[in-house]
Amino acid sequence: MVQAFCDWLSNTPVSLKIQTVLWIIPAVQTVHILSVSIVMASMAMLDLRLMGLAGKRQPISRMVDRFVPWVWRVLLILAATGTILIIGEPERELLNWAFRTKMAMVATVSLITLVVQQVNKRDATFWENRRIAAAAVGVVSLLLWVAIVTAGRWIAYV
């Protein structure tokens, strides 16, 4: 079924346009990577702070408020540019296990980030008072982000 969808999608005028205009894919990938930079650096800062390894001059709640809204906005850009790349090369992405793993991890880490943000909204000292839980969330989140970038790069190789 996915194969049939890919066949249909790759023959749509939009997809054919992306396939024939050679600068579209590298240009969209560039915007995608720049967006990854913003999300990755923001989340690395926050995760390291949750682990107690960096940025200790700021309370955790301040960092959540500073970085997470950016992450949500930029994730929208990532979804948009990612969708363009899928339309351009549906088989390369949708039938690729690295891509599927990446999407599952993006969903998981988004959910974790949402929980961190919502808990922080109700109680600004929650994570500050639970060091072990905060560190655990930081470790899992950071590992997921690293794995997401890794899976993203390996889409081209598997």
Partner 1 sequence: MGILRLCAWLESTQVAGAIRESTWLFPTIETIHVLSIVLVVGSIAMFDLRLLDLASRDRSVTEVYDDVMPWTRASFVCAVIAGGLLFSSSATKYYANIPFRLKMLTLLLAGINTAYFEFWTRRGIAAWDHAAHTPRAAKLAGGISLVLWIVVVACGRWIGFTK
Query: Minimal distance in Å, beta carbon 157 to partner 1?
Result: 5
> Could you say which DSSP state residue 51 is in?
T
Sole binder of partner 1 in the list 9, 51, 54, 119 (CB under 8 A)? 54
Q: H or E stretch including 79? A: helix 60-88
Q: How far apart are CA 140 and CA 126, in angstroms?
A: 18
Q: How far apart are CA 77 and CA 83, in angstroms?
A: 10
Decide: is 11 part of the binding site for partner 1 (CB under 8 A): no
Structural tokens at position 42:
């923001």
Sole binder of partner 1 in the list 26, 118, 122, 132 (CB under 8 A)? 26
Sole binder of partner 1 in the list 10, 19, 25, 94 (CB under 8 A)? 25
> Residue 11 or 58: which CB sits closer to partner 1?
58
Structural tokens at position 128:
């500050």
Decide: is 66 part of the binding site for partner 1 (CB under 8 A): yes
Q: How far apart are CA 148 and CA 144, in angstroms?
A: 6
Decide: is 75 part of the binding site for partner 1 (CB under 8 A): no
Phi then psi for residue 51, to 5 deg, are -80, -10
> Residue 2 or 139: which CB sits closer to partner 1?
139
Q: Which residues bind partner 1 (CB under 8 A)?
A: 22, 25-27, 29-30, 33-34, 36-42, 44-45, 54-55, 57-58, 66, 146, 149-150, 153-154, 156-157
